[in-house]
Amino acid sequence: MTILAMIRHGDTDWNRQGLIQGHSDIPLGEEGERDVRSWRLPPDLEEFDWIASPLKRALETARLLAKREPRIEERLTEMSWGEWEGRTLAALREELGDLMRAWEARGLDFRGPEGESPRDVQDRVRPLLAELAQAGKPTVAVCHRGVIRSVYAMATGWDMVEKAPVKLRDAAVHYFILTSDGTPAVDRLNVKLGADLEPR
């Protein structure tokens, strides 16, 4: 079995404004970069291989944490929100009303116009998980909330219709165990990137 440790990138200015990013390539904001520089890794991660989404916010976070160049992995790119990128969920819910509620109730099959669904993300990440399992090297993946939630859903059977069984925190490491075919199972969640390094 292979360990996969997943970390969400630090905040961007769009995150602070509540704007949907998706494939939009927004870099870390000043506050986000400062936050990432304050994070402390659990000692076990120092010997892991490092991979990262190609989007600036994830790649910059990985470089700051690993203190070396991670391997870029296109399949870790955030879920595309299509035409909704650059908008807020609150504005979309107000504008679309019942239609938006019906779309969100689709869970794994929720998709914005010209965007991806969480199930689409699972489909593109699944071969990567199988490759990591075959390689057998413990790996850190620095990526995005949508990607991590999609892997968590695979590991738990969560359909994304109701709230997650466990809320996945930011500034934390989420550990998964990959079986020989890449199927993920939860190991530990919400291990803080801080001095005490205890689950929260």
- State the sign of the Cα–Cα–Cα–Cα dihedral 118, 129, 5, 176: positive
pLDDT tens by residue, 81-128: 999 999 999 999 999 998 888 888 899 999 999 999 999 999 999 999
Domains contained in the chain, number: 1
Single-letter residue type at 84: W
pLDDT recorded at residue 197: 42
pLDDT recorded at residue 196: 45
pLDDT tens by residue, 131-143: 999 999 999 999 9
pLDDT recorded at residue 200: 37
Print the SS3 string covering the chain: CEEEEEEECCCEHHHHHCCCCCCCCCCECHHHHHHHHHCCCCHHHHHCEEEECCCHHHHHHHHHHHCCCCEECHHHCCCCCHHHCCCCHHHHHHHHCHHHHHHHCCHHHCCCCCCCCHHHHHHHHHHHHHHHHHHCCCEEEEECHHHHHHHHHHHHCCCCCCCCCCCCCCCEEEEEEECCCCCEEEEEEEEECCCCCCEC
Domain ranges, residue 33? 2-16+27-80+116-192
> Does residue 63 fall inside a structural domain?
yes
> Does residue 128 fall inside a structural domain?
yes
> Does residue 45 fall inside a structural domain?
yes
Looking at the whole model, is its pTM more than 0.75? yes
Quick one: average pLDDT of 179-191?
97
Burial 36-55 (b: 16+ CB within 10 A, else e): beebebbeebeebebbbbeb
- State the sign of the Cα–Cα–Cα–Cα dihedral 179, 10, 191, 68: positive
Say if residue 198's pLDDT is above 80. no
Single-letter residue type at 133: A
Q: Do 149 and 118 contact (CB within 8 A), yes or no?
A: yes
Say if residue 199's pLDDT is above 70. no
Tell me the two tokens of residue 104: 């969100």
> Does residue 200 fall inside a structural domain?
no
> Does residue 21 fall inside a structural domain?
no
pLDDT tens by residue, 67-84: 999 999 999 999 999 999
> Does residue 153 fall inside a structural domain?
yes
pLDDT tens by residue, 16-31: 999 999 999 999 999 9
Say if residue 185's pLDDT is above 90. yes
> Does residue 198 fall inside a structural domain?
no
Say if residue 178's pLDDT is above 80. yes
Q: What is the CATH number of the domain that holds 144?
A: 3.40.50.1240
> Does residue 120 fall inside a structural domain?
yes
Higher per-residue confidence, 150 vs 102? 150
